[in-house]
Structure 1
Amino acid sequence: MTHEPRNDSALPPLPPLPPHRDPADAWVVAPSGERYWGLHGAAGLIAFDSLRGVLLQHRAGWSHHGGTWGLPGGARHGSESALEGALREAAEEAEVPAEALTPVATHLLDLHVWSYTTVVARVDSPFEARVADAESLALRWVRPEEVAELDLHPGLRTSWPALRPLLDLRPALVVDVANVVGSVPDGWWKDRADATARVLAGTARVVAAGLPASVFGVAAHSVLPETVAVVEGAARGAVAKGCVRVVDAAADGDASVLAQVEELRATGATVVVVSSDRGLRRRLGDDVMTLGAGTFRSLMSA
């Protein structure tokens, strides 16, 4: 984690860089003279295990704010996303296996000339983190209530109050595909299967990029929900790519949406349903959040 303003008289040394150094491993210099690490910004990972806590990195003494506790992370490379950068850095620095995690949200510090994205991920399969490069003195799992007691990197100390509530977030999205398909008169009735495929592809893009956190009513930048798409009628049998799970409605599409909502809520998930169907919304009740089909389509086309 390297996102504190720096002036020329107090710059930390360059980190030890491998011979195959990525071009993005360099300083960004702001008009004010402050410098930030990573030409494309930087990203870090909060891996949260409900039994062991948050994985923290004891920063090497040579680094900026050396000796403090922060997150595995570093400069984003090329065109990689913040999620890809955070997972890569965590693997390089602490041997964190991406397959053991489920990312749930991102928190963004945007300084215009440079940005730092914190990716919050749930640990689904326990793993042993190991110091894998010279940037760490040690790694430790820390209970959330004990994090603030440590000598934290100033960036983490500032952002921790906003990050702490995200640890327990378990977001889920249930898409009423038939309602989204029928929300615009684009000729969908001529080929329902093709129209459904387009909506599923758009859903996968939206989910992969992250939904605005406001959809789930949380203070973050984006949310990465578990996503279920309910299809019915002639669209049954459709296949989605990426992280979207397709459920074929046996008969009543609304009943299938309701069943998926109850199943997800039973796991502790916070569920948002995508539909403009008033009848379905009444059946969901006031304690289930909804997102209109038109609004969802605007996210798909963004």
Structure 2
Amino acid sequence: MTIEPALPGQPPRFAGPRDPGDAWVVTEAGERYWGRFGAAGLMAFDTERGVLLQHRVGWSHHGGTWALPGGALHQGEPAIAGALREAHEEAGVPVASVRPRFTNVLDLGVWSYTTVVADVIERFAAAVTDPESFAVEWSPVDEVDDRPLHPGFADAWSSLRSLLHVRPVIVVDAANVVGSVPDGWWKDRAGAAEHLLTRVAALASSGVPADALGLGATHWFPDFVVVVEGQARDVMDIDGVRTVRAPGEGDDTIAAEAAALADDGHAVTVVTSDRGLRARAEDAGATVHGAGWLTGLLG
């Protein structure tokens, strides 16, 4: 663990070996940004407790303000991994207790900061676990603005807050997507469906660009629901994807899933090239994309 230095002229405070990423990036205009390889922070969101904030110690940059647990990325470290590492080091956040929902990147060219917004999936007690914090506290969303915020976090908070309750779900018409590629799927429908599920699970793990979903921020990790029918109902379950086996016509199940998810407040995207199903899904409140949209994301 390396501690961020305070202001020019003050000595850095380090605990442990220094990572090459622990350095200032200084622009031609003299602006200073911490993290040679960029930086990242974690916004852990709990529907009951709010967001987890860190009260920065006085010697740190913008000391005395409130922001997110975070810091400089290590060389070659993915932003999500770095945000989770920093949150664990600074606030005792167990990595397995949160699930990333979306990321937002501030890219200044010479330096970038990635905010990782993650849902708490297993409640934990946050605590001050290194010298960079006066305190770490859960703050109700409506009370975040009452605190003196770090300028960078203050600039981002409004747009981040507007997305906290956006929960995208992609519902896939498996038969339609599999049938859109003439690769012999009809000879082994269950095998073709399983191959699709495996690819969708990989996409669920890597996430979807925000512009593909028509959402704000930079990158999202939506839930995926894949509806199978007929012979494909024998497909194995794949981790990371919810498989729904239609008891009859797949279209009826897909329309019902889309309606139920939309009624529950989710931002629903249905993947199908079937015109009749498209109309039913749109009536249910879903956005609809053709099979080619998904196959493009799958690569």
What TM-score, normalized by structure 2, do the two folds share? 0.87
Name the structure 2 match of 1:65: 62
Question: Partners in 1 of 2:254 and 2:266 — Cα distance?
Answer: 15
What are structure 2's unaligned runs of at least 5 residues?
Answer: 1-6
Name the structure 2 match of 1:288: 286
Name the structure 1 match of 2:240: 243
Corresponding pairs, count: 292
Aligned pair 1:76/2:76, yes or no? no
Q: Residues 190 and 28 (structure 1 numbering): CA distance in 2 closer, same or farther, change over 3 Å?
A: farther
Name the structure 2 match of 1:233: 230
1:147 to 144, 154, 168: 144
Counterpart AA for 1:99: A
Aligned-partner SS, 1:168? coil
Q: Residues 151 and 239 (structure 1 numbering): CA distance in 2 closer, same or farther, change over 3 Å?
A: same
Counterpart AA for 2:115: T
Aligned pair 1:297/2:292, yes or no? no
Aligned-partner SS, 1:285? helix
Aligned-partner SS, 1:108? strand
Q: Residues 176 and 31 (structure 1 numbering): CA distance in 2 closer, same or farther, change over 3 Å?
A: farther
Aligned-partner SS, 1:130? coil
Quick check: 2:282–2:288 contact (8 Å CA) kept in 1?
no
Name the structure 1 match of 2:50: 53
Residue deviations 1:129-150 (CA, integer Å, cap 9, x gap): 1001111111122222222222
Question: Partners in 1 of 2:64 and 2:28 — Cα distance?
Answer: 29
Question: Partners in 2 of 1:13 and 1:233 — Cα distance?
Answer: 68
Backbone CA RMSD of aligned residues: 2.5
Deviation at 1:17, TM superposition (A): 3.8
Residue deviations 1:225-282 (CA, integer Å, cap 9, x gap): 1211112233223346442222222232112222322343354322111222111111
Counterpart AA for 1:238: V
Question: Partners in 1 of 2:11 and 2:62 — Cα distance?
Answer: 11
Q: How does 1:179-218 map to 2 (within 5 A)?
A: 179-218=176-215
Question: Partners in 1 of 2:99 and 2:91 — Cα distance?
Answer: 17
Aligned-partner SS, 2:87? helix
Q: Residues 133 and 198 (structure 1 numbering): CA distance in 2 closer, same or farther, change over 3 Å?
A: same
Residue deviations 1:106-165 (CA, integer Å, cap 9, x gap): 111112232211111223443211001111111122222222222111110111111111
Aligned pair 1:102/2:116, yes or no? no
Deviation at 1:34, TM superposition (A): 4.6
Aligned-partner SS, 1:236? helix
Quick check: 1:175–1:230 contact (8 Å CA) kept in 2?
yes
Question: Partners in 1 of 2:194 and 2:12 — Cα distance?
Answer: 48
Residue deviations 1:183-235 (CA, integer Å, cap 9, x gap): 22233334434433332232223222221223443321112112111122332
Name the structure 1 match of 2:257: 260
Deviation at 1:78, TM superposition (A): 4.5
Deviation at 1:15, TM superposition (A): 4.9
Aligned pair 1:174/2:171, yes or no? yes
Aligned-partner SS, 2:164? helix
**Bigger mean CA offset, 196-205 vs 108-117:** 196-205
Name the structure 2 match of 1:138: 135
Counterpart AA for 2:294: F
Counterpart AA for 1:135: E
Quick check: 1:68–1:153 contact (8 Å CA) kept in 2?
yes
Q: Residues 167 and 258 (structure 1 numbering): CA distance in 2 closer, same or farther, change over 3 Å?
A: same
2:110 to 76, 95, 113: 113
Aligned-partner SS, 2:248? coil
Quick check: 1:45–1:121 contact (8 Å CA) kept in 2?
yes
Question: Partners in 2 of 1:11 and 1:225 — Cα distance?
Answer: 46
Question: Partners in 2 of 1:73 and 1:26 — Cα distance?
Answer: 15
